[in-house]
Amino acid sequence: MAELEKEDVEVKEEKKENASEKRSPAERTAEKEELKVQLDTAYQALGQKFYKACGVSNGKRPAEVPRASLFNDQIAEIGKIKSKYDAIVSEELAEKGLKACPECENEVVLKSLYCNMCGFKFPVKTEDKPKPAAKPKCKFCGAELEPGSAFCAECGKKQV
C-alpha cells in the first residue's frame, strides 16, 4: 500500500518536470490553483518575516520600517511564482487570440501594438519580426544606409 502511494507521487512529480510549453486546459487550471497556494504561502512568509523584523512580537512598536533588502528572498520567490502564473495565463489568452496588458490587465487581441485602455505599448517580439538582411553601408564612412539610399545620412556623400 505504502509502495503504491510512493509510486503515485513519483509519477506525478515526473509529469510536472516534463510539463512542456503546451499544457491541456485542465492541467493549466490545476497548475494555476497550485501556484495560487504557493503564492499565498510566500506572501504569508513575507508577512511573518516583516512582522518579526518590526519587533511587533515583543510587544514593541517598530522603530522604523525594516529595510526592503531583508526580504529579498521572499520577494524573489513571489516574483518567481507570479511569472509562472502569468505564463499560464498568457498561454490561455493566446489560445483565445488575446493577451493581457501588463499595466492594466486589460485583455486585447494578440496582434495589438497598444493597449486600448491605458495606451501601453507592447514590446515587439523579435521572433515575430525577423531581422532584415544586413543594411548596405556607406562606401565612405561605413555608416549603415537605408536600402536604396542615394546619399549617406551620416556624411552626405553620394552612393552611386
Which residues lie near Zn ion (CB under 5 A)? 101, 103-104, 106, 115, 117-118, 120, 138, 140-141, 143, 152, 154-155
Q: How far is the CB of 103 from Zn ion (least distance, A)?
A: 4
Q: Which is nearer to Zn ion, 50 or 122 (CB)?
A: 122
Q: What are phi and psi of 68, to 5 degrees?
A: -60, -30
Q: Which is nearer to Zn ion, 17 or 146 (CB)?
A: 146
Contacts of 158 (CB under 8 A, 6+ apart): 150, 151
Q: How far is the CB of 100 from Zn ion (least distance, A)?
A: 9
Q: Which is nearer to Zn ion, 73 or 154 (CB)?
A: 154
Q: How many CB atoms lie within 10 A of CB 10?
A: 10
C-alpha to C-alpha distance for 107 and 86, rounded to whole angstroms: 13
Q: How far is the CB of 109 from Zn ion (least distance, A)?
A: 13
C-alpha to C-alpha distance for 94 and 74, rounded to whole angstroms: 30
Amino acid identity of residue 51, one-letter, is Y
Q: How many CB atoms lie within 10 A of CB 98?
A: 15
Q: Which is nearer to Zn ion, 80 or 82 (CB)?
A: 82
Q: How far is the CB of 118 from Zn ion (least distance, A)?
A: 3
